[in-house]
Structure 1
Amino acid sequence: MRRQVELFFCAVQFLTRLPTPALSRFEPDWTTRSARWFPLVGQLVGGLSALVLLGAAHFWNSWIAALLAVGAGVLITGAFHEDGLADTADGLGGGQTPKRRLEIMKDSRVGTFGVIALVLVLGLKIAALASLAPAAAAVALLAAHGAGRGAAVLTMRLSPYAGDALAAKWKPVPDGVRWGEVVLALAIAVWPLFLLPTLNVALGLVIGGALVLIVVLLARRLIGGHTGDILGAVEQVFELGFLLGLAAAL
């Protein structure tokens, strides 16, 4: 139990800027082993964003409330996943060889493709949330953030690592994420979905899954697999697809 608590706090430290108790020890594979808790951390971020949305909805219209909620999520994570999305768009869209694409993705500067991707994805997420009633939007944030991290964990298992492990913020281990950890992560990611209408959830999962599949297959073809930036992009596009599915169904 103590190890699981430590792994959870490791996941919080890795994925967010939230304060956590200091870890008394750290092992090289902990970031990978903590992937089982990524959806729970996502639900924590989504829950806090949902509280911002519900509070803001008492004072402003749905668009402002949605913008503040999405902004809160970005602040809580330090734009961790959004940075991955921008780097993925720049790398896959701008490079001519796998090596060059990976170099572009490591560049701290954001290019045209990255800016366009951020504007479109964040703008569409805000629009989708604004189209929902505040209570539904709050639950949607909780579900989307958790399921988006679940999609990233599944990608870690199904797709090979293609980046430079020594230069990566996340150090992949030889055995990668284990299937038991993937199952636990997906089980955690699923429970908020039962708070939403089945048709809405189904459409959101289909659109989100389709967008993730496009990103993963494109990354596999262009750079040979996934990197941390690709995982950030996977999380973001799944969130977008899920929220678009909910908005369409409602």
Structure 2
Amino acid sequence: MVRRKPGAAAVAGLRFAFGTLSVLPVRVTRWDRPTAGRAMLCSPLVGIVLGVLAAALGGGLDRLRGGSLLAAVACVGALAALTRGLHLDGLADVADGLGSNKPPATALKIMKASDIGPFGVLVLVLALLTQVAALARAFDAGGWLGAFGVVLAATTGRLALLRGCLHGTPSARPEGLGATVAGTVSPSLALPTVLVTLSGLGATAWAVGGFGGAGLRLAVGALLALACGLASATLLLAHCVRRFGGITGDVLGAMVETGTTAALIVWALFAAA
């Protein structure tokens, strides 16, 4: 019997997370449900890494006086490029499935089709415009506020994946990414992950504000933004489970974009206050 090295399972989960949730050149070495569960627990880390990369681009343009709008577009575009538009595609597909008002089996076929319908286009455009507008407002308030907003939103969106994959969450299909990850995350492991992420983002927001009264306000804003993002994604999840009978990869992608957008809106309000 071959004995695995200590930590090999954790590394495989990390590879799964970065290999499926980003375009970063990471090879997935194991593809099974236990590894998928560990990968979902690593998804906030993926959000942090992608958020930092996107924030570096947008923040650089802002420092070069490219303007807040250009910085915001660069950040949103970078996040889309770093994921091959995977989550945006999921958002559009779910919008088409929900908007079709067809029975679950037919709606799932619509979601699986390669083209995007009118509902998908409308929701996709509105989501991207909202993200750009919110980020531009944050960059108007300060370069660091805009840059942190990108990291906060990207992390919130990926943190929503934990909720979407908790034990008891069914899969709408017997195959696909949704079937692989559905119900793989234990609440006892998800809770510490959420608390650590909350603490880290809250402390960072406080530091961005200078550890004074402004810092405390921003820390509260970051925590509320994260909470609102997770709540919005959870509401979408509940509706999709009722409508489709479970989750799919598209539903998870839509949860990411919903959480990201909601977090950006709340953060922009606090950053501009």
TM-score by length of 1: 0.90
Partner of 2:155: 146
| Aligned 8 A contact 1:32 1:176 in 2 | yes
Larger radius of gyration: 2
Q: CA deviation at 1:221?
A: 2.2
Deviations 1:120-149 (CA, angstroms, capped at 9, x unpaired): 111111111100122111111112111211
Matched residues in 2 for 1:69 and 1:193: separation? 21
Q: CA deviation at 1:185?
A: 3.4
Segments of 5+ residues of structure 2 without an aligned counterpart are 1-6, 206-217
Aligned length: 247
Partner of 2:85: 79
Provide closer, same or farther for how the CA distance between residues 235 and 161 of structure 1 changes in structure 2, counting only shifts above 3 A.
Answer: same
- 1:182 aligned partner, one-letter code: A
| Aligned 8 A contact 1:14 1:31 in 2 | no
| Structure 1 stretches of at least 4 aligned residues deviating more than 3 Å after TM superposition | none
Provide closer, same or farther for how the CA distance between residues 3 and 210 of structure 1 changes in structure 2, counting only shifts above 3 A.
Answer: closer
Q: CA deviation at 1:158?
A: 6.1
Q: Does 1:5 align with 2:20?
A: no
Q: CA deviation at 1:117?
A: 1.0
Higher relative contact order (CA closer than 8 Å, sequence separation 6+): 1
Q: CA deviation at 1:71?
A: 0.5
2:180 counterpart SS class: coil
Partner of 2:32: 28
Provide closer, same or farther for how the CA distance between residues 34 and 213 of structure 1 changes in structure 2, counting only shifts above 3 A.
Answer: closer
Q: Does 1:177 align with 2:185?
A: yes
| Aligned 8 A contact 1:147 1:239 in 2 | yes
- 1:97 aligned partner, one-letter code: P
Partner of 1:221: 242
Pairwise CA RMSD = 2.0
Alignment of 1:91-110 (within 5 A): 91-110=97-116
What percent identity do the matched residue pairs reach?
29
Q: Does 1:57 align with 2:62?
A: yes
Segments of 5+ residues of structure 1 without an aligned counterpart are none
Alignment of 1:158-237 (within 5 A): 160-166=169-175, 168-172=176-180, 176-190=184-198, 191-196=200-205, 197-237=218-258
Q: Does 1:239 align with 2:260?
A: yes
Q: CA deviation at 1:225?
A: 2.6
Q: CA deviation at 1:63?
A: 0.2
| Aligned 8 A contact 2:166 2:182 in 1 | no
Matched residues in 2 for 1:207 and 1:33: separation? 25
